[in-house]
């Protein structure tokens, strides 16, 4: 991490994410948090006036709502974020700024008008979703972690991410657009094809069979 306070925050959160309390977080675990924290600073280099320590702190705490309750909105994690930021010696004013950043960068509600700091955080958070590794290694864990079905997962991604792609704000920074936009487009196309495949009765039937055999989990009660 880039400062002593960020080091302290990261160390405390790593302990939390490696604990039993965070064991259900197969998708939004420390692997996701660490990548977001590192890449947020890299993307923030495009904005000289932005406080890099604040961005990295926001990246480290942005998904603490999932510790409180899986499949939840970021507001749920406000108190837990405050606790960890306070323990790492961030001031009340800094904590308020970080809270605003977390909400501003949230995928489901962000817009073209967000701040430069939120752009860096958003790009770092979005990157994990579109890694070529994610559909192979992590997407099924999202279903398990959040207790959602495959069709619900596909609908959510298309509903939230297609408008961002259409508005050309999937990524905001030049480095993220240049390096990773093609991954984002491929990932969205793949999810759209998943949705298309689920409309085929024969494919739905073989998924039901696979679920009965516990070969896959595509539905949750």
Confidence (pTM): 0.93
Of the listed ranges 36-40, 123-127, 144-148, the one predicted with least confidence: 144-148
Q: What is the pLDDT of residues 39-97, one digit of tens each?
A: 999 999 999 999 999 999 999 999 999 999 999 999 999 999 999 999 999 999 999 99
Q: How confident is the model at residue 219 (pLDDT cuts 50, 70, 90)?
A: confident
In a domain, 46, yes or no: yes
Domain of residue 117, residue span: 4-212
Domain CATH for 114: 1.10.3210.10
pLDDT of residue 53: 98
Q: How confident is the model at residue 221 (pLDDT cuts 50, 70, 90)?
A: low
Q: What is the DSSP string of 27-66?
A: SSSHHHHHHHHHHHHHHHTT-TTS-HHHHHHHHHHTTTHH
- Looking at the structure of the chain, the number of domains it has is 1
In a domain, 24, yes or no: yes
What is the token pair recorded at 216?
Answer: 């896959």
In a domain, 221, yes or no: no
Predicted confidence (pLDDT) at residue 217 exceeds the cutoff of 90: no
In a domain, 220, yes or no: no
Q: What is the pLDDT of residues 135-173, one digit of tens each?
A: 999 999 999 999 998 999 999 999 999 999 999 999 999
In a domain, 174, yes or no: yes
Measured CA to CA, the distance from residue 82 to residue 86 in angstroms comes to 6
């Amino acid at each position: 991490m880039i400062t002593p306070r960020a080091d302290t925050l990261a160390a405390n959160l790593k302990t939390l994410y490696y604990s039993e309390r965070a064991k259900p977080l197969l998708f939004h675990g420390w692997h996701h948090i660490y990548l977001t924290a590192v890449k947020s600073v890299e993307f923030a280099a495009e904005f000289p006036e932005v406080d890099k320590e604040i961005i990295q702190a926001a990246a480290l705490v942005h998904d603490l709502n999932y510790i409180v309750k899986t499949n939840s909105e970021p507001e749920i994690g406000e108190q837990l974020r405050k606790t960890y930021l306070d323990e790492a010696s961030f001031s009340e004013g800094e904590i308020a700024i970080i809270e605003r950043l977390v909400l501003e960068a949230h995928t489901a509600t962000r817009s073209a008008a967000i701040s430069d700091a939120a752009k860096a955080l958003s790009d770092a958070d979005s990157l994990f979703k579109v890694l070529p590794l994610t559909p192979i290694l992590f997407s099924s864990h999202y279903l398990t972690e959040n207790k959602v079905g495959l069709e619900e997962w596909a609908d959510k991604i298309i509903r939230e991410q297609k408008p961002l792609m259409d508005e050309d704000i999937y990524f905001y920074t030049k480095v993220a657009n240049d390096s990773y936009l093609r991954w984002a487009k491929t990932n969205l196309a793949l999810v759209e094809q998943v949705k298309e495949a689920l409309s085929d009765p024969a494919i739905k039937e073989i998924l039901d069979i696979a679920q009965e055999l516990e070969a896959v989990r595509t539905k949750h009660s």
